[in-house]
């Protein structure tokens, strides 16, 4: 019974979600990444409402560092995708919109072979 309670603790759930997120990033598993992100956000909401307190400060710092490392890995994956898209002649979405509400990115044609 005690282990079930410990496993249900918000910080335990957060750690499991961060581990799952890292595995999903390393495995390039989009579905698992989306699921782990949802689990992480839920665990964060639970942890915030539980207010872990000073005694959990070291654990929270370790989880913060783990989340930051996952963020670095996610940034690396995004750069790899952007590089691949550019080299096959596609453009990654810009994330910026013009005055008409259209995305600012313009597709660029690129010849990949010599004719």
Least confident of 8-17, 43-52, 96-105: 96-105
Is 110 within the bounds of a domain? no
50 neighbors 42 (Cβ within 8 angstroms): no
pLDDT for residue 1: 38
Is 12 within the bounds of a domain? yes
Q: What is the pTM of this model?
A: 0.64
Specify the number of domains making up the chain. 1
Domain span including residue 37: 2-87
Model pLDDT for residues 19-77, shown as the tens digit of each residue: 999 999 999 999 999 999 999 999 989 888 877 777 788 888 899 999 999 999 999 99
Residue 29: enclosing H or E segment and its boundaries? Answer: none
């Amino acid at each position: 019974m005690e282990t079930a309670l410990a496993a249900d603790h918000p910080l335990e759930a957060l750690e499991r979600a961060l581990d799952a997120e890292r595995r999903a990033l390393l495995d390039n598993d989009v579905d698992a990444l989306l699921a782990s992100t949802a689990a992480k956000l839920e665990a964060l909401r639970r942890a915030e409402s539980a207010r872990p307190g000073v005694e959990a400060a070291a654990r929270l710092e370790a989880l913060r560092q783990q989340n930051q490392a996952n963020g670095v890995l996610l940034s690396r994956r995004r750069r790899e995708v952007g590089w691949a898209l550019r080299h096959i002649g596609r453009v990654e979405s810009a994330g910026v919109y013009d005055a008409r509400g259209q995305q600012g990115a313009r597709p660029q044609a690129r010849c990949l072979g010599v004719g």
